[in-house]
Amino acid sequence: MFDTSFIEISRSALKKNLEFIRNQIDNNIKLSSVVKGNAYGHGIKKFIPLAEEFGIDHFSVFSSKEALETFESKVNSNTKIMIMGMIPNGKIEWAIKNDIEFYVFELDRLKTTNEIATKLNKKALVHINVETGMNRIGFEKHEMEKVVNYLRSDYIQFQGLCTHFAGAESIANYYRVTNQIKIFKRIIHQFQKKNLNPKRIHCASSAATMNYPNTRFNMVRIGILQYGLWPSKETLIHYLGKHNKRKNPIQRIINWKSCVMNTKNISSGNFIGYNNTFQAQEDMKIAVIPVGYTNGYSRSLSNHGSVIINGNKVKVIGTVNMNMLIVNISEIPYTKKGNEVLLIGNQNGQEITVSAFGEYTNQMNYESLARLPADIPRKIIE
């Protein structure tokens, strides 16, 4: 049963994507599956056990709330979770008790972690996030001495040393990224000189993993690629060129579907929907789909978007409403109430890709996916 739309997740496509990623990296490199933003809109609850089926045993999330959702969704007891961003101090105890790994990038969190871990008599699994040039989060040079002292505590386990690049998906950032790599290597060396050896060294997202193989160290944090999309077209072209290939090796795993709620004939000259943005230039037929901007279909797709009905790509006309959108079905007048509508997907050689969906709205794949509301039902298909 679905309310107004539903999302399908393809098991075989995910399998293929994960195999592709594994084949790119050495066997000794840990693959952490990034599932922040409700698994990039795919839905944490369904995605976690599915990824576990294909051998994923490490997930990266942004916040302690996402960590809890992942914790409750996982089925394997040895699956690990890492928080890369927000934890209120009040949730640190929960994280330590449940062996949740987490980033620390400022001294207050490090101090609180040490205090709570001491009280619990249990080691906290800490990833030290260092600033290398992204200028967002990360310990600064002048804080390192204090960080090193905390790392000598019996209750802090040096689980990881990490950083993040400011745009490894574009050659325009080459200078900045290679400079970050240099700085990161220097910091790794400084820790090692003090005999502090992190279990994991990691900095590569999908883009860095593909474009800068020397950033893989012994763990990579892969988000967008596992969902079958490239961080940028440039990264795909770089991959194809380097390997002398023509075909995109990965595949979108998501489809988004709804159905026709109503159809109507409109005579020439009438305006359709709110305001005067669309006037029928001839007699036409329209279908109303029960999906609008509250359901994640951007209002900026008004008079621009397309959907697939009965194997035909048809245009959105008029403005996208809060709960409805209108499409022109004059070419497929036999369309009926209840017919399937593809908002993202392919059929009969026609395709609505996430990027087509995104480009129209000037959003990137990441944003279009992450904005898909959490309450749309998700189901797994082959």
The residues of the shown chain that bind ligand PLP, judged by CB under 6 A, are 34, 36, 84, 164, 205-207, 221-224, 231
Cα 285 to Cα 76: distance, rounded to the nearest angstrom:
52
- State the minimum distance, in angstroms, from the CB of residue 255 to ligand PLP: 20
Q: Which is nearer to ligand PLP, 162 or 341 (CB)?
A: 162
In the 8-state DSSP scheme, what is residue 295?
A: G
H or E stretch including 222?
strand 219-222
Q: Which is nearer to ligand PLP, 160 or 305 (CB)?
A: 160
User: Hey, which residues does 331 pair with through a beta bridge?
Assistant: none
- State the minimum distance, in angstroms, from the CB of residue 193 to ligand PLP: 26
- State the minimum distance, in angstroms, from the CB of residue 249 to ligand PLP: 16
Q: Which is nearer to ligand PLP, 117 or 224 (CB)?
A: 224
Contact assessment for residue 261 and residue 3, using Cβ atoms and an 8 Å cutoff: no
Tokens of residue 185, six digits: 């290597």
> What angle (nearest 5°) sits at the alpha carbon of residue 55, between those of residues 97 and 212?
95
For the chain, give the longest Cα–Cα distance: 79
Tokens of residue 175, six digits: 């200078």
- State the minimum distance, in angstroms, from the CB of residue 129 to ligand PLP: 8
In the 8-state DSSP scheme, what is residue 356?
A: H
User: Hey, which residues does 306 pair with through a beta bridge?
Assistant: 315
Please identify the residue of the shown chain whose CB is closest to the bound ligand PLP.
223
Q: Which is nearer to ligand PLP, 42 or 285 (CB)?
A: 42
- State the minimum distance, in angstroms, from the CB of residue 307 to ligand PLP: 26
Q: Which residue's structure tokens are 């294909």? A: 54
Cα 41 to Cα 112: distance, rounded to the nearest angstrom:
33
Q: Which is nearer to ligand PLP, 155 or 366 (CB)?
A: 366
- State the minimum distance, in angstroms, from the CB of residue 227 to ligand PLP: 8
Contact assessment for residue 205 and residue 168, using Cβ atoms and an 8 Å cutoff: yes
> 174 vs 130, 169, 211, 230, CA distance in Å?
20, 9, 10, 18
Tokens of residue 31, six digits: 């693959």
Q: Which is nearer to ligand PLP, 35 or 314 (CB)?
A: 35
> Which residues of 270-364 form beta strands (DSSP E)?
284-289, 306-309, 312-317, 325-328, 340-347, 350-352
Q: Which is nearer to ligand PLP, 36 or 42 (CB)?
A: 36
- State the minimum distance, in angstroms, from the CB of residue 34 to ligand PLP: 4
H or E stretch including 65?
helix 64-73
Q: Which is nearer to ligand PLP, 36 or 378 (CB)?
A: 36
- State the minimum distance, in angstroms, from the CB of residue 226 to ligand PLP: 8
